[in-house]
Chain A
Amino acid sequence: DQQVKQNSPSLSVQEGRISILNCDYTNSMFDYFLWYKKYPAEGPTFLISISSIKDKNEDGRFTVFLNKSAKHLSLHIVPSQPGDSAVYFCAASPLDFGNEKLTFGTGTRLTIIP
């Protein structure tokens, strides 16, 4: 049972436009959500996170939105740049001590078209 779902395996966006990546989750115990970016042959790199007490977190060009009632989060990148081309993973975790493992989605491959 996939507890974190990224239903779009790939997305292509024109340079300068907004990229929107979506993620859905099923486990109501998740309290903390993260986005990781992955280039080929490298490990995932942390991008941005949000806790369940917030509905928005912004860091430069990256904004994450959380809709708890819909169990949905999204990552907005604006403006999109060629260096943003990568695979993006959504991840979630409970905040219980001793139970902090991350559950990942299957990823969305973002391609920025120059």
Chain B
Amino acid sequence: GAGVSQSPRYKVAKRGQDVALRCDPISGHVSLFWYQQALGQGPEFLTYFQNEAQLDKSGLPSDRFFAERPEGSVSTLKIQRTQQEDSAVYLCASRDSGRAVETQYFGPGTRLLVL
């Protein structure tokens, strides 16, 4: 079956521009996570949804970052007024249930470069 998909795969933005990154989770998956991976680092947690409810947004680095999942399926991560330090790969993952013992399945990521 289809895995997690993300679009666009690559995005170049000018500093100050707003960007929107899309995640299509595996169909029926309840939980959805966003992670940020800087060069040479491991993925770092940004935010977590269970269905349409955003249960944890403690990893969002500033109020310029906003995520939504209005119908409990597709999610969008929006970054306003992008800065150079926002350059990273943004990974989305989905999971079948709300239990931690279920595996998180990752998408290929969106590579964002802010000039």
Known: A97-B98, A98-B55. A104 touches B105 (CB 8 A): no
- Interface band, chain A: 20 to 34
Main secondary structure of the interface of A (DSSP, over half): loop
| Contact of B41 with A106 in the complex, beta carbons under 8 Å | yes
- List B contacts of A85 (CB < 8 A): none
Residue A74, interface by CB 8 Å: no
- List B contacts of A34 (CB < 8 A): 103
B interface size (C-beta, 8 A): 29
> Can you name the residue of chain A whose Cβ is closest to the Cβ of B105?
A46
Known: A44-B91, A95-B100, A101-B59. A107 touches B108 (CB 8 A): no
Residue B40, interface by CB 8 Å: yes
- List A contacts of B104 (CB < 8 A): 46, 102
| Contact of A45 with B100 in the complex, beta carbons under 8 Å | no
Which residues of A does B touch, CB under 8 Å?
A: 4, 6, 31-32, 34, 36, 41-46, 49, 51, 89, 91, 93-107
Which residues of B does A touch, CB under 8 Å?
A: 4, 31, 33, 35, 40-45, 48, 50, 55-56, 59, 91, 93, 95, 98-101, 103-109
